[in-house]
Amino acid sequence: MSRSPRTSRSPAPKATAPDRFPPAERKAAALVLGAAFMLLADTSIVNVAIPSLQRDLGASVPDVQLVVAGYVVAYAVMLITSGRLGDLYGRRRMFMIGAVSFTLASLACGLSQGPGELIAARVWQGLSASVLYPQVIATLHLTVAAERRGRAFALLGAVVSCATIAGPLIAGLLIAADVGGLQWRPIFLINIPVGAVLIALAPRMVPAHKGLRLRLDYAGSLTVVLLLVALLVPLTVGRDQDWPLWGWLLLLCVPVLLAVFLRLEAVLERRGRFPLLRPGLWSDPAFRLALSLYLVYFSAVVPFFLYFSITVQYGLGYGALATAAAMAPYAVGSTATSLRSARIVARFGAPRTILAGCLLCAAGSAVMIATVAGNRSGRHFGWIMAPTMVFTGLGLGLVLGPLLNFVLARVRADDSGAVSGALSTAQQIGSSLGVALIGLAFFRGFHGELTSLDYPALRTDMMLGLAVIVTAFALASALVWLIARRSSADGGGGPAS
C-alpha cells in the first residue's frame, strides 16, 4: 500500500517535462525574450517616426539615413565580439551591462536636441543592443533543457515575427497620441521602464554563468569589426550616396580583411589560445551552410518589409497605423507556425521543416507578384495582399526557431555566445545586402524624394523587387537541401570540434 502512491505519481514529471518549462527555465526565457522583443522592435520603430523627426529636429535626408544606419551598423559590427564576451566573462553579466547601456542610450535618444546628438545616441544604442542580443540566444540555449529547447526557440521565432510588426505599430500609436507634446521622443523613452524591469529582474531570473575567464582575442575582434564596417557601411548608405568611390574601395578591403581574420584565428588556436571564432567551427559543413542560409534568407525577408512599407505609405498614402496593420497578416502567419514548429520538427526533422518553410516563402512571394500585377489601381491593397502575406508568414515561422536550434545543437557550450553572434551577424549582413540589391530593382532610375513616388511606378518596381526575393528564397531552399544531405551523411552531427 505504501508503494502504490509513489508508483502512480512518479511517471508524471517525465510525461510533462517536454511540454512544460520548469519555473527557473520559464522565468529566464520570459525575461530574455522580453529583451529580444525590445531590441527587435527598436530596429524598425524609427522608420515610422522619420517625418516627425525631420520636422522637430530640422534633420536633412542624410541625417535621417545616419539615424537609421548608425543603429544597424553599430549593432552588427559588435555581435560576434559581444557573443564571445558572454562566453568568457559570464552571460548574465554581459546581459546586465547591455541592458543598462541600452536603457541609458534610449534616454539619450529621447533627450536629443539635434540630429548630431540623435545619431550619436543611436550608435550607442546599436552597440548596446549588440551586447545584449547574443546573450538572449545563448541563455536560451544553455538554460533550457534539450527536450524543451526547440519550443524555446519557437517562442523566439514568434517574438521576432511580432516585434517586426509591433515596432511600427507602437511608433504609430505613440506619435499619434503625442504624449505630453513630445512628438517622436516617446518611441525611445518607452524603453526606459522596460529596461528598468530587465535590470531589476535579471539577477534573480537569469542563471549565473562565470564564463571561461580567458583573454579576449583582441586582434581577431578588431579585424572582424573593421571587416564588417567595410562591408556594411557601403551597403547601408551606398545607394543614397550614389555609390561613391570610397564605398567601392571599402568593399575591396572585405576579402583581404576576411583572409587576415581567418589566418589570425588559425594561428591563435595553434598557439593554444582561445580565438574569437574557432577554426574548428568552419570545418563543420552544416555550420557554414547555416551561416550562408541566414545571409540569403534574411536578404529576402527584411527588404520585403521595408519596400512594402514604402509602397503603401508613399504610393497609397497609408498612415503609420494603417501600414502596420497591412503588414500584420505576415506576423499572424509566422506566429501561428512558430508556436507549433517544435512539434513539427519532432515529427519531420529540422531540415525538412526548414525546407518546407523556405519553399512556402518562395511560393507566397511568387503569388504576391501575380497579386500586385492584378491590382492596377491599388484599391484595397492591404486586404488583397493579406492572404498571400499570411501564407508567406507561415513559411517564416518554420525557419527561424528550428534553424537556430539546429545550429546551436551542433556547437560546444563554450562557443554558444560566439556562434549566436555569428548567426545574428549573418542576419544583419543579409538584411543590408538584400536592401541594397533589391533597392536597385525597386528604385531603378529613381532619384529624388520619396514623396514624389506614386503607386503606378511603385507597382512595377515592387514586382521586380519581389522577383529578386523569390530568387533569394529559392536559393535558401537549395541551401537547406544541402544542409539536409550533409546532416544525414554525418549522422546528424554533434558539437563541432
pLDDT of res. 447: 55
In the chain, where the domains are located = 21-216, 217-275, 280-497
Residue 102 in 3-state DSSP? Answer: helix
Domains 21-216 and 280-497 share a fold: yes
The per-residue pLDDT for 487 is 65
The radius of gyration of the chain's CA atoms, rounded to the nearest angstrom, is: 23
Are the beta carbons of 144 and 29 closer than 8 angstroms? yes
Burial of 104: CB neighbours in 10 Å, binned 0-12, 13-18, 19+:
middle
The per-residue b/e assignment along 411-450, b for 16 or more CB within 10 angstroms, e otherwise, is: beebbbbbbbbbbbbbbbbbbbbbbbbbbebbbeeeeeee
Angle, nearest 10°, between helix axes 400-408 and 320-338? 50
Q: Tell the CATH superfamily of the 21-216 domain.
A: MFS general substrate transporter like domains (1.20.1250.20)
DSSP state of 216: -
Rounded Cα gap, residues 69 and 239, in angstroms: 12
CB within 8 Å of 472: residues ≥ 6 apart: 296, 297, 299, 300, 434
Residue 313 per-residue DSSP state:
I
Q: List Cβ neighbours of 4 (8 Å cut-off, separation of 6 or more).
A: none
Residue 4: the pLDDT is 41
Amino acid symbol at 177: A
Contact, 191 vs 106, CB < 8 A?
A: yes
Helix (H) or strand (E) holding 79: helix 79-89
CATH 1.20.1250.20 applies to domain 280-497:
yes
pLDDT of residue 366: 92
d(CA 437, CA 234): 12
The answer to whether 156 touches 36, Cβ cutoff 8 Å, is yes
The CA distance from 348 to 494, in Å, is 19
CA distances from 285 to 10, 297, 420, 479, 484 (A): 42, 18, 17, 11, 11
In this prediction, residue 448 carries a pLDDT of: 54
| Phi (first) and psi of residue 495, to 5 degrees | -60, 135
Question: Cα(152)–Cα(160) distance, rounded to whole angstroms?
Answer: 13
> pLDDT per position in the chain (497 positions), as tens?
444 444 344 344 444 445 678 888 889 999 999 999 999 888 878 877 877 888 888 887 778 878 888 888 888 888 888 988 988 888 899 999 999 999 999 999 999 999 999 999 999 999 999 999 989 988 888 888 888 888 888 888 888 878 877 887 888 888 888 888 888 899 999 999 999 999 999 999 988 877 777 788 889 899 999 999 999 888 888 777 778 899 899 999 999 999 999 899 889 888 878 888 888 777 777 777 778 888 888 888 878 877 887 788 778 888 777 887 888 888 889 888 988 888 898 888 888 898 999 999 999 999 999 988 888 888 888 888 889 999 999 998 898 888 888 888 777 777 777 888 888 888 888 888 888 777 776 666 555 555 556 677 778 888 888 888 888 888 888 888 887 777 666 655 545 54
pLDDT at 57: 87
Q: Which residues contact 32 (CB under 8 A, 6 or more apart)?
A: 95, 135, 136, 139, 140, 206
pLDDT at residue 317, rounded to an integer: 82
- Which cell numbers in the block locate residue 19? 511540454
The residue among 35, 129, 43 whose CA lies nearest residue 82 is 129
Long-range interactions of 50-57: CB distance < 8 A, separation 24+ = 52/175, 52/183, 52/184, 53/118, 53/184, 55/183, 56/183, 56/184, 57/112, 57/113, 57/114, 57/115, 57/118
| Contact predicate 154/338, CB 8 Å | yes
